[in-house]
Each structure stands twice: as C-alpha cells, then as structure tokens.
C-alpha cells in the first residue's frame, strides 16, 4: 500500500512539474509577443499617405527568384517605399537584404527594381549585409547613421521590425506593404511568433553585434557610395 501511495505521489508531482514547464514555456513565447506587438501598435500606419516624414525608407529584404526578379512580397515592399519617396515622405531609400553568397543576391535585384522606376541613383542606398531584421536596424544606426526611418514590410513582420528599430534607438514608424495576398502568409505569421521571442532575447539579453559592420556611409550623402 505504501509503495502504491509513493508511486502515486511521484506521478502527481511529475505531472505538476510537467504542467509548470508547459506554462512557463507558453509564457516565454506569449509575453515577448505581447510586449512587442503592444509597443509597436501605435507606430504602424496602413497607408503611405498617413506616414510621417523621415530621413529614409528602410526596405527589408525577402525572396528573390533565380531570374533576379523579386517575389511578390518583396516587390510590394519596394513599391511601397517608392511611393513614399515620390510623395516626399522620405529623402532616401535604404535597401537591406541578404547578399552573403555570389549565387543569391537580394540587394542588387532590389536596386535594379528601384532604378527602373525612376528613383535617382544617388538617393538609393544598398546594405548587402542585412541578414536579419536585427542586423538591418543595427547597421542602419551604426553604418548609415540613420536617426529616423519609415520601416517598410508586411504587417505580420512590422511589429517586430519597428520594435527592433526603436529599441536600438531609431525613431521608427512602420508602413504596411500588403498590396496583395501572398502564398503561405499564415505560415509566415505563425513563424513570426517565435521570431519575436528571438528578437526580444537579442535586444535585451544577448545584444550581439551584426555579422558585419564596416565603414560609416551617412544616409544624408550619396547612395552611390554603397555600390561595391
């Protein structure tokens, strides 16, 4: 009888411990998401017309096809930034993406797209080491000396992007770039729940340096200085 009672207690306490771990894991995901989304909520605009003036529109990179054509999600980000530029909401456009391999180049594909739509070359800055949202915002501050920006990406990504920029000291407002429906949009939104947790840890705990920094190229100068 005592053996049964002891075994039952072990099972009960094991279940309690497991339940506590599940609750803690849930809170570890939920709390950063709530903090990030609530903090950024009033710093996001749905329409380019409602955006405040800023030095620069920061376009966050996304998929580019093998042909060099931006995928629809990226094309919408670029088109939104171009609209901001043509409305006089920004003086410059900063294209930040992944160009870590010779065989994959988001940044020059973005550059070609913007040039083809009439934006003067000197007003287009390129950041070839924007491997993550964190790296992009860190480099915007330390390499390009950005102080205020309009951050352009899809709505599911904006809270994290704006929170990252503002935590790193930029006066940032997000501009929604959802011009059309996208394939796998729900999957991207779900994945961003975990990405927000990672961002929160980076910003408040680990505080890593970007993979690359490099010489200072002020955003109020000539964008052609960023061409390699």
Average pLDDT per 10 consecutive residues for the chain, totaling 228 residues: 66 70 71 93 96 98 93 97 98 93 90 97 97 97 98 97 98 97 87 94 96 95 92
> Per residue in 18-28, pLDDT tens?
776 776 777 66
List CB contacts of 67: < 8 A, sequence separation 6 or more.
Answer: none
> Per residue in 34-59, pLDDT tens?
999 999 989 999 999 999 999 999 99
pTM higher than 0.75: yes
> Residue 57 forms beta bridges with which residues?
93, 150
* CA–CA gap between residue 50 and residue 21 (Å, rounded): 44
- Select from 3.40.50.620, 3.40.50.300, 3.30.1300.10, 3.40.50.11810 the CATH code of 39-226: 3.40.50.620
* CA–CA gap between residue 19 and residue 76 (Å, rounded): 44
List CB contacts of 210: < 8 A, sequence separation 6 or more.
Answer: 129, 131, 134, 135, 138, 139
* CA–CA gap between residue 81 and residue 7 (Å, rounded): 64
């Amino acid at each position: 009888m005592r053996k049964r009672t002891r075994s039952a207690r072990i099972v009960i306490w094991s279940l309690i411990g497991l339940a506590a771990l599940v609750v803690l894991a849930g809170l570890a995901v939920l709390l950063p998401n709530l903090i990030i989304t609530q903090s950024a909520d009033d710093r996001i605009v749905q329409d380019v017309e409602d955006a405040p003036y800023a030095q620069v529109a920061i376009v966050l990179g996304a998929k580019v096809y093998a042909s060099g054509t931006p995928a629809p999600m990226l094309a919408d980000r670029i088109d939104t930034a171009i609209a901001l530029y043509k409305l006089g909401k920004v003086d410059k456009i900063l294209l930040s993406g992944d160009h870590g391999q010779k065989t994959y180049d988001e940044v020059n594909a973005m550059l070609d797209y913007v040039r083809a739509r009439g934006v003067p070359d000197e007003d287009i800055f390129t950041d070839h080491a924007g491997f993550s949202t964190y790296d992009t915002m860190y480099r915007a501050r330390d390499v390009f000396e950005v102080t205020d920006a309009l951050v352009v990406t899809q709505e599911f990504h904006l809270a994290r992007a704006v929170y990252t920029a503002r935590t790193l000291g930029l006066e940032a407002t997000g501009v929604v770039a959802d011009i059309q429906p996208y394939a796998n949009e729900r999957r991207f939104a779900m994945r961003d729940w975990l990405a927000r947790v990672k961002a929160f840890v980076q910003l408040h705990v680990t505080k890593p340096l970007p993979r690359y920094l490099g010489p200072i190229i002020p955003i109020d100068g000539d964008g052609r200085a960023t061409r390699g």
